[in-house]
Structure 1
């Protein structure tokens, strides 16, 4: 389990570029550690892991702020079958 204020984020995407774009948005909102990427299955997908510090915010990002607010409430109501 990450320490207080830290979150481990795993991004699964069809391409490394798509995963990097999502990680970039996270980095604009929160300080983050170096990302790590891994192959995701046999179809050429990518898993990208990044650790973010949720106790501090990086630069203000008006485009990401509404998404963060709405995803926070929606995420509490559902889980994915492959989550551990």
Structure 2
């Protein structure tokens, strides 16, 4: 298990992994249009020039589409995992 501390209530830590820095920045920009967020930090990802971009999202100050989406989906994700998740 990962011993990394959990983010504060109402916040989420987000990692975007993409083949190029531009793609990672585009995804981060979409997230920032919907939520307040920290300054992004980027790191190399993999051996083929990929980028890992990390930011902290504040879901308590959601805006626009994210606000209405969060209101309607609050209970829908507890039991859903991807195949590679534990």
Fold in common (TM above 0.5): yes
- Shift in Å at residue 57 of structure 1? 1.4
How many residue pairs were aligned? 77
Compare CA radii of gyration and give the structure with the larger one: 2
What residue in structure 1 maps to residue 81 of structure 2?
Answer: 78
State TM-score, norm by structure 2.
Answer: 0.73
Q: 1:44 aligns with which of 49, 52, 55?
A: 49
Name the structure 2 match of 1:17. 22
Correspondent of 1:4 among 5, 9, 13: 9
Mark the CA change 1:41 to 1:75 in structure 2 (over 3 Å): closer, same or farther.
Answer: farther
Mark the runs of 5 or more structure 1 residues left unpaired by the alignment: none
Q: Gapped runs of 5+ residues in structure 2? A: 1-5
The CA deviation at 1:79 is: 2.3
- Cα distance in structure 1, aligned partners of 2:41 and 2:26: 14
Displaced runs of 4 or more, over 4 A:
72-76
Aligned-CA RMSD value: 2.7
